[in-house]
Structure 1
């Protein structure tokens, strides 16, 4: 009888702990014994940064080292934030803005620490699978909580109470309505954030459904996760979620084998039709969100602030006024992270943020080029969908103002760097194997031709 060998805790284990704290613990719960707003996931991300720094000083902990395009992009993004913080705090700032600037630099430092830790600590395909499967499972739990809110009007997350944590008001009432439907939030702080998490998980769940079928393993649990996340993204009644799932569908059409493309399109179309029949009026509401977009009050409110935003950008065009200092309660709400970054971090900060998404996209595309492993190539396509969904979300709402959405987006960026390391290691190992084989063959002595026996007359 084969005995199951237990996997020792490693960097991927710590990443799973972080993701559990980020996705399962309700986002409204923060530490009660500190004056600053610190959710548990953010504190753990800071600890991951300390662990990463310590592991870089030794060679015995298996931490990845050396250049990586994603890690370089993360470093440049951190440098832009530090430069902005230095310039902003050197000049006079109102007390309320200075307080938020101090907490914001801690928040972004923790998030970047988590991303670079993921990039260097997840070293094998097996551990990468562990992290991605946990993300899909946690997203399914969030979707289930959101669907209960949507269908029954019961907020399961509101019943969660953890010692040492206090509930913080986020300015959004759970289950506010759009059209005739409640807008769920799951364990997040806002329906847009909830919809984005579900949309990011859809391509990963799809990959694991196909993977389980190919391996002859049970795939119903992955199919259930896919159904929950897909329905959660639709019931969020969010353009961000719909665009994210559309991007996932386009990426799958271009990357899946032909047989899987047909299956994915048939299943996706059937699921959308079934959801529209089960929830009467849902299709009409979703269609109205896009067909009447020019008359939508929320869209008009977003575009009306562009003139005032341009004035703010001109005041500090290079490094901005300071990350987090453009307070929505004091100035206005900007539902565009790139525009908000222009105001708070200037052009350097905006280019650094765009560079993050470009570097992550480049990394996963390179994985698909250099890897011969179909599973790793499929995972790369799923993560590419999630990275693109995060980039789209940065256009449709202030992404960095929401902790769960920010953590998930930077997790995908970190995983893209980890995948690139894994693919390069496998490619290097395969190249060394071929080189060694060619050396052995070149040093092999030539076989002597057989002696011809003399013919006896």
Structure 2
């Protein structure tokens, strides 16, 4: 390593090499010398497009569920990161918080995979969910069960590989604050597309499946239909389920708000349109999980805002509720009733009834679990709690690794906010931490990793938080950072 590769900002788990030093050493070069064909930011943006804009039910048929374009692109990202790191082209060196947390999670998944294959699987009769469907009464042949579980465990490995690739490439491949902001802008843009499609579905009940006929991809399940809840359309857009649609938008909403607050050289309509579209579409999922995720995320941001921003936020919140009543009559009342009748709601009592049945299965593999994605609903039951699902599938060690990984993402964003001096960059770090906290809360209300868009966006947010933290340790690259517009005070908003 040359002297130009000096270490800057050592953290508790390692050190990060300066991107400026790497450029001077010739490890990071531009398009002009022909050494790099695709910037990492472009690779991340393409992943977001594939994740958000192509329904997860469209897969490459021979690969099954892991064969979504987004997951395959994430695996390519992991291969790229490995080659760049092993080949000495990655300026980030040593153990970083992101690398350690990803390594712990991947290690836990691999250990559970080995443990599950070594011990085998079975389906206790008392754990299967009672339904009116006849197949639940039929005993499961052992060979069929094992074949399904092996396939599910393989799917877990492929999914984690894609998620790890996104985290590592995003956290170490984005070179400047400007690139980070551009990626966030694309996330908001694609999120706005998903939201707009959901609004169209809400008012027209339009089945969007016909819009997504892509050569080489086949649907592994039905998608695009609109379901109802309390006589209202409940939409999913490109997501698998309305819950996923709502939680995804809850994770994107604050990023859109950040872009609206700090956009420059745009008209008021262009600046605020993404925030308005996403904020309007989110309640149309008619999902408690989405509302809770958004509420907690907004609470985190509210605490972090200066006093004058909080006052304006409190004044605008009632207007937003009134506006939603005018746009979608009956929707606000329906959502209120979801929280007012929790004790009598079958979906809530069903969740709590799962605990005793599932914990009995957990005690058979308490440390390492039985393999990611091997708690197959068809042979066991629907489990609307990702933390409980992780405990069963990955064991206590896997759950601890998952919590460390998610907590690391929140910590890195908060730590970046403390280090940064630019108001815009500090606010982005704040909303990244808030979005992660909100999405992670939803893990207690549905099996989030079973829904590719929420799972992928969670790992993306951790990667962006890692990038913000790494950049907070860097000296600014002057000319590049100077291109960032200064914060623009929105009409009636923070200034």
Q: Same fold (TM over 0.5)?
A: yes
Q: 1:289 to 1:158 in 2, by over 3 A?
A: farther
Specify which of 97, 100, 104 is matched with residue 76 of structure 1: 104
Specify which of 64, 70, 76 is matched with residue 47 of structure 1: 76
Asked if residue 292 in structure 1 is aligned to residue 344 in structure 2, the reply is: no
Q: Following TM superposition, by how much is the alpha carbon of 1:84 offset from its aligned partner in structure 2, in angstroms? A: 0.7
Contact kept? 2:207, 2:224, Cα under 8 Å: no
Specify which of 299, 306, 330 is matched with residue 355 of structure 2: 306
TM-score by length of 2: 0.81
Q: 1:219 to 1:326 in 2, by over 3 A?
A: same
Gaps of 5+ in 1: 430-457
Contact kept? 2:224, 2:238, Cα under 8 Å: no
Distance between the aligned counterparts of 1:332 and 1:273, measured in 2? 40
Residue 130 of structure 1 corresponds to which residue in structure 2? 182
Asked if residue 10 in structure 1 is aligned to residue 39 in structure 2, the reply is: yes
CA offsets 1:415-441 (integer angstroms, 9 cap, x no match): 111110000113899xxxxxxxxxxxx
Q: 1:290 to 1:89 in 2, by over 3 A?
A: same
Contact kept? 1:293, 1:299, Cα under 8 Å: yes
Specify which of 249, 254, 266 is matched with residue 303 of structure 2: 254
Gaps of 5+ in 2: 1-29, 122-145, 479-495
CA offsets 1:300-323 (integer angstroms, 9 cap, x no match): 111111110110111111111221
Specify which of 418, 421, 437 is matched with residue 372 of structure 1: 421
The 3-state SS of whatever aligns with 2:59 is strand
Specify which of 349, 353, 357 is matched with residue 402 of structure 2: 353
TM-score by length of 1: 0.88
Q: Following TM superposition, by how much is the alpha carbon of 1:233 offset from its aligned partner in structure 2, in angstroms? A: 1.1
The 3-state SS of whatever aligns with 2:378 is coil
CA offsets 1:46-77 (integer angstroms, 9 cap, x no match): 111110001102344x5533332122111101
Distance between the aligned counterparts of 1:33 and 1:342, measured in 2? 30
Distance between the aligned counterparts of 2:243 and 2:210, measured in 1? 18
Distance between the aligned counterparts of 2:281 and 2:363, measured in 1? 40
Distance between the aligned counterparts of 2:303 and 2:316, measured in 1? 17
Distance between the aligned counterparts of 1:206 and 1:23, measured in 2? 19
Q: 1:115 to 1:290 in 2, by over 3 A?
A: same
Q: Following TM superposition, by how much is the alpha carbon of 1:33 offset from its aligned partner in structure 2, in angstroms? A: 4.6
CA offsets 1:302-358 (integer angstroms, 9 cap, x no match): 111111011011111111122111110111011000101111111001111111121
Q: Following TM superposition, by how much is the alpha carbon of 1:297 offset from its aligned partner in structure 2, in angstroms? A: 0.8
Distance between the aligned counterparts of 1:36 and 1:200, measured in 2? 24
Distance between the aligned counterparts of 1:410 and 1:200, measured in 2? 12
Residue 453 of structure 1 corresponds to which residue in structure 2? none
Residue 393 of structure 2 corresponds to which residue in structure 1? 344
Contact kept? 1:21, 1:41, Cα under 8 Å: yes
Residue 105 of structure 1 corresponds to which residue in structure 2? 157
Residue 4 of structure 2 corresponds to which residue in structure 1? none
Distance between the aligned counterparts of 1:65 and 1:151, measured in 2? 52
The 3-state SS of whatever aligns with 1:305 is helix
Specify which of 314, 320, 330 is matched with residue 369 of structure 2: 320
Distance between the aligned counterparts of 1:192 and 1:278, measured in 2? 21
Distance between the aligned counterparts of 1:207 and 1:295, measured in 2? 38
The 3-state SS of whatever aligns with 2:235 is coil
Q: Following TM superposition, by how much is the alpha carbon of 1:202 offset from its aligned partner in structure 2, in angstroms? A: 1.1
Contact kept? 1:387, 1:412, Cα under 8 Å: yes
Contact kept? 2:176, 2:477, Cα under 8 Å: no
Asked if residue 194 in structure 1 is aligned to residue 245 in structure 2, the reply is: yes
Contact kept? 1:205, 1:226, Cα under 8 Å: yes
Q: Following TM superposition, by how much is the alpha carbon of 1:32 offset from its aligned partner in structure 2, in angstroms? A: 3.1
Of residues 272-281 and 358-367 in structure 1, the stretch that sits farther from structure 2 once superposed is 272-281
Of residues 158-167 and 333-342 in structure 1, the stretch that sits farther from structure 2 once superposed is 158-167
Residue 449 of structure 1 corresponds to which residue in structure 2? none
Contact kept? 1:135, 1:201, Cα under 8 Å: yes
Of residues 240-249 and 336-345 in structure 1, the stretch that sits farther from structure 2 once superposed is 240-249
Residue 385 of structure 1 corresponds to which residue in structure 2? 434
Aligned length: 421
Q: 1:140 to 1:218 in 2, by over 3 A?
A: same
1:398-409 equivalences under 5 Å are: 398-409=447-458
